[in-house]
Amino acid sequence: MTKLTIAQLLKETKLQEVEVKGWVRTFRAKRFIALNDGSTLNNIQCVVDFENTPEDTLKRITTGAAVAIKGELVESQGKGQSVEVVVSSIEILGDSDPETYPIQPKKHSFEFLRENAHLRTRTSTFSAVMRLRSALSFAIHKYFNDNGFYYMHTPIITGSDAEGAGEMFKVSTLDQKNPPLTEDGEIDHTKNFFGKDTNLTVSGQLEAETYAMSLGKVYTFGPTFRAENSNTSRHLSEFWMIEPEVAFMDLAGNMDLAEDFMKSVITYILENNAEDLEFLDKRLADEEKTKPQAERSELSLIEKLKFVTENNFKRVSYTEAIDILKNSKPNKKKKFNYIIEEWGADLQSEHERFLVEKHFKCPVILFDYPANIKAFYMRLNEDGKTVRAMDILFPGIGEMVGGSQREERLDVLKEKMAVLDIPEEELWWYLDLRKYGTAVHSGFGLGFERLVMFATGMSNIRDVIPYPRTPQNAEF
Amino acid sequence: MTKLTIAQLLKETKLQEVEVKGWVRTFRAKRFIALNDGSTLNNIQCVVDFENTPEDTLKRITTGAAVAIKGELVESQGKGQSVEVVVSSIEILGDSDPETYPIQPKKHSFEFLRENAHLRTRTSTFSAVMRLRSALSFAIHKYFNDNGFYYMHTPIITGSDAEGAGEMFKVSTLDQKNPPLTEDGEIDHTKNFFGKDTNLTVSGQLEAETYAMSLGKVYTFGPTFRAENSNTSRHLSEFWMIEPEVAFMDLAGNMDLAEDFMKSVITYILENNAEDLEFLDKRLADEEKTKPQAERSELSLIEKLKFVTENNFKRVSYTEAIDILKNSKPNKKKKFNYIIEEWGADLQSEHERFLVEKHFKCPVILFDYPANIKAFYMRLNEDGKTVRAMDILFPGIGEMVGGSQREERLDVLKEKMAVLDIPEEELWWYLDLRKYGTAVHSGFGLGFERLVMFATGMSNIRDVIPYPRTPQNAEF
């Protein structure tokens, strides 16, 4: 008797006695169980001999019940599957009361499923999304491993708040009601667990730079945090980020790396996750049909993925992009929500999407941004007003990747920090990298959930992470 | 002109013009640069024509300086390397003042290097350790991916404090000095970011169970936290944990999985990281020589790794182990620090190591522990006093893996929670798994840093994670 997963069974050509365990998705005509074990989107059909099965057992074959089935794997008579199981014995492992089980065999709203996030991967949509999330994670590790990068775990709790990427959460073991105070009436952080005030990290980049400047090519893939009160479908308070960092690589090399990387991970899921992608492609198409014509996407999910893998990414300077946008129809006709009037403007998603979807019709890498709208650690160009930053823009979603060549000159970096009131004592170790064997180096950051949204066609970021953390919500 | 990493260059057989960038490890006789770029433990020797190089440039070739070298790859005359570079041009990219650079070409204490953790991967020992850490991470992801597991990111910030694995850190955005209070004078957590009191997670297991009960086979690999004031060489406040969880798998299956998994990841580094392992093997042997004979390990580092891959893990019940220990020489002669007197005793590292190193001479899996020394979610055996728990014991380090079959019976689980005062409202979603389609399931946890210690022979856990977080220390 062979014990295989349903994914394996569905590919079997040898007809045989099998044992299979899973959860009932549906049971119809007292005869056909659609059984799923999570290994694949597809169910295996198990045909029950209802005349010789006790009525009491039949009643307990309900949606969500866990069952163990023994039987014979045979060619299927029905359409949609090549094999099915003729049940010789069935055991109910765990009942599921149809009166109270939240996941019924019908369409549930995503809002409802978010409230039942512990059960939502029992639906086809969420199991497909989470299998893809897993596959994308693996594709990322595989890409970097294959290309000589070392994976680095940067710290989550940080004593620094100088990274400047956003509002931070405090981490503390002090008594919240009666915190110890200094003589001056301030919080006495020497009594705190780490002997100082600590926060949850907003980025591992600065620490990743320390490893790039010794191990050469490194990357991080870990959780990062923002305490901003942004209750939108695009923001999470806790999300995962990928940040490669490479010594001796300039901005052009950074663009090459990012393009190759994005194409590689998307190719991986196209090759390895076709069933889940096709299901989500169809789901998105159905969702699009409910929208007014003007708001529908021109590309299907799979077309969007191939848009990335099959096109060269167009490299355009920020200055050039501003010219294109200023002279574009939607700008002149005031169709943009934010009209582009002059050099220096921060681009919005609508502008990024215009460049990608309407103007260039391919993924776009914008580079050489105005220094004053970008972070302190980015390499200042010789013009004194732009920095070697790059953003990669994708269809539908706008910015996917943000990166830069880093400022490797000690004096320039110190000047920038002084202007922004970042104390040198806080980043002494970061400055050390510029004191001892400094060199050109670059890297980028990719918000993992944005990638999962892009790859699955889900439109709310809460639906691509198992247990989303957002303002007023830390359930499960 | 070929641009290759030093790892690639050292394997080249085609003699050619090359360009190489890296950091100077040593420069001797105004002639021989040992150059390293982090891609490998080994340096490439670059031979400078000092008679035709300006004195000013020669002076700047100091330990830690970043340089770009062009030259010819030739067969080496010296021993210890097959190829070397005859330098035709050298450019100093970043100086390193030999008067102030902390990493001198001499032996530094690990304590000193911990204070310079941003530079310590510029030493052979720490670069080897961190390359192995990266390789082990990849081996873990590869093992699970190859075996049909889905990777799941469990939440870091949690609203639950019922996991019971240890003291937790608070996460908050409340004003620390003047927190909002309720009418009763308690902290008003409705004003907190998540609308309630939140902590950093101590384990992803409970959430992983929710995904096992829908996707079948899943695992987590993420950071976990303990706010215990343990200032030892074996404790971190922030560490990474791997937690697989599998539906329809009992304790025997759990043991099979854990043994196969541990053998697989250690085999991976033996096959892929031989140079770094040999270096660390030698380092450990040198360190052992400084210890009194009685305290030295019988096994070298690589022998310890093979002890795991080449032996079957012996499976022994807790009850049997207690008998063995009670009757053992060190127990009778009172050589143990903790004398084993009766069934129910919690085993210490000295007992675990005795079983592995002296008695069975192979890795050991202990199972069926007394219920009252194990967690609430472990499956109660029919005897009513033991649970289906298992610990895997390794030489030198004791417990490496801890796991169990989970309690799948709603009534038994509720009873246990009641006894331990764990409110059902906090874990309603965990109980739901037992209400709807419950089934036998199991999993285990592996502290990643303990694995890295075992695999590298490092004896202080602070030396196997880039930036350790411990009481009174959150630097970098």
Instruction: Give me the residues of A, 7-46, that contact B with CB < 8 A.
Output: 7, 21-24, 37-39
Asked if A223 lies within 8 A of B156 by C-beta distance, the reply is: yes
Judging contacts by C-beta atoms under 8 Å, the chain B residues touching residue A174 are: 176
The residue range of the domain holding A286 is: 124-166+202-463
User: Is B117 within the bounds of a domain?
Assistant: no
In terms of Cβ atoms closer than 10 Å to its own Cβ (0-12, 13-18, 19+), residue A195 is middle
Spatial distance between the Cα atoms of B204 and B111, rounded to a whole number of angstroms: 32
Asked if A119 lies within 8 A of B436 by C-beta distance, the reply is: yes
Judging contacts by C-beta atoms under 8 Å, the chain A residues touching residue B449 are: none
Do B89 and B132 lie in one domain? The reply is: no
Do B314 and B213 lie in one domain? The reply is: yes
User: Is B54 within the bounds of a domain?
Assistant: yes
Q: What is the CA radius of gyration of chain A?
A: 27
Last residue of a domain, one of B48, B68, B101: B101
Local confidence pLDDT in tens for the 476 residues of chain B: 667 999 999 999 899 999 999 999 999 999 999 999 999 999 999 999 999 999 999 999 999 999 999 999 999 987 778 999 999 999 999 999 999 999 998 899 999 999 999 999 999 999 999 999 999 999 999 999 999 999 999 999 999 876 666 899 999 999 999 999 999 999 999 999 999 999 999 999 999 999 999 999 999 999 999 999 999 999 999 999 999 999 999 999 999 999 999 999 999 999 999 999 999 999 999 999 999 998 888 899 999 999 999 999 999 999 999 999 999 999 999 999 999 999 999 999 999 999 999 999 999 999 999 999 999 999 999 999 999 999 999 999 999 999 999 999 999 999 999 999 999 999 999 999 999 999 999 999 999 999 999 999 999 999 999 999 999 999 99
Nearest CA in chain A to B249: A21
Give the one of B148, B207, B222 whose C-beta lies nearest to A5's C-beta. B148
Report how many domains make up chain B. Answer: 2
Q: Is the ipTM, as predicted for this complex, more than 0.90?
A: yes
In terms of Cβ atoms closer than 10 Å to its own Cβ (0-12, 13-18, 19+), residue A466 is buried
Q: Is A223 on the interface with B (CB under 8 A)?
A: yes
Q: What is the mean pLDDT of each run of 10 residues along chain A (476 residues)?
A: 88 94 96 98 96 96 98 88 95 97 94 98 98 98 98 95 80 95 95 96 97 98 96 96 98 98 98 98 96 91 98 98 98 96 95 97 98 96 98 96 98 96 94 98 98 98 98 96
Q: What is the pTM of this model?
A: 0.98
Judging contacts by C-beta atoms under 8 Å, the chain A residues touching residue B122 are: 214
User: Is B194 within the bounds of a domain?
Assistant: no
Judging contacts by C-beta atoms under 8 Å, the chain B residues touching residue A179 are: 176-177
- By C-alpha distance, which of A193, A194, A424 is closest to B474? A194
Asked if B159 lies within 8 A of A215 by C-beta distance, the reply is: no
User: What is the token pair recorded at B296?
Assistant: 């030295």
Do B158 and B95 lie in one domain? The reply is: no
Do A405 and A455 lie in one domain? The reply is: yes
Q: What is the CATH number for B285? A: 3.30.930.10
Q: What is the CA radius of gyration of chain B?
A: 27
User: Is B15 within the bounds of a domain?
Assistant: yes
Asked if A157 lies within 8 A of B471 by C-beta distance, the reply is: no
CA distance B40 to chain A (A): 8
Do B73 and B129 lie in one domain? The reply is: no
Asked if A436 lies within 8 A of B97 by C-beta distance, the reply is: yes
Judging contacts by C-beta atoms under 8 Å, the chain B residues touching residue A196 are: 474
Backbone angles phi, psi at A213, to 5 degrees: -80, 15
In terms of Cβ atoms closer than 10 Å to its own Cβ (0-12, 13-18, 19+), residue A222 is buried
Q: Is B297 on the interface with A (CB under 8 A)?
A: no
Nearest CA in chain B to A467: B155
The SS3 of residue B473 is: strand
Do B308 and B384 lie in one domain? The reply is: yes
Instruction: Give me the residues of A, 318-377, that contact B with CB < 8 A.
Output: none
Asked if A172 lies within 8 A of B177 by C-beta distance, the reply is: no
Element containing residue B277 per DSSP (H, E) = helix B274-289
The SS3 of residue A48 is: coil
Q: Give the CA distances from residue A423 to residues A194, A226, A323, A415, B107, in Å, rounded to whole numbers and listed in that order.
A: 20, 22, 38, 11, 32
Do A360 and A262 lie in one domain? The reply is: yes
Do B19 and B144 lie in one domain? The reply is: no
Q: What is the CATH number for A75? A: 2.40.50.140
User: Is B407 within the bounds of a domain?
Assistant: yes
User: Is B40 within the bounds of a domain?
Assistant: yes
Do B86 and B210 lie in one domain? The reply is: no
Instruction: Give me the residues of A, 392-451, that contact B with CB < 8 A.
Output: 408, 429-430, 432-440
Nearest CA in chain A to B221: A222
Nearest CA in chain B to A222: B222
Are A443 and A449 a contacting pair, CB within 8 Å? no
Nearest CA in chain A to B144: A138
Asked if B173 lies within 8 A of A174 by C-beta distance, the reply is: no
Place of tokens 């923001």: A235
Asked if A227 lies within 8 A of B95 by C-beta distance, the reply is: no
Do B12 and B136 lie in one domain? The reply is: no
Asked if A169 lies within 8 A of B174 by C-beta distance, the reply is: no
Do B138 and B88 lie in one domain? The reply is: no
Do B80 and B129 lie in one domain? The reply is: no
Q: Is A2 on the interface with B (CB under 8 A)?
A: no
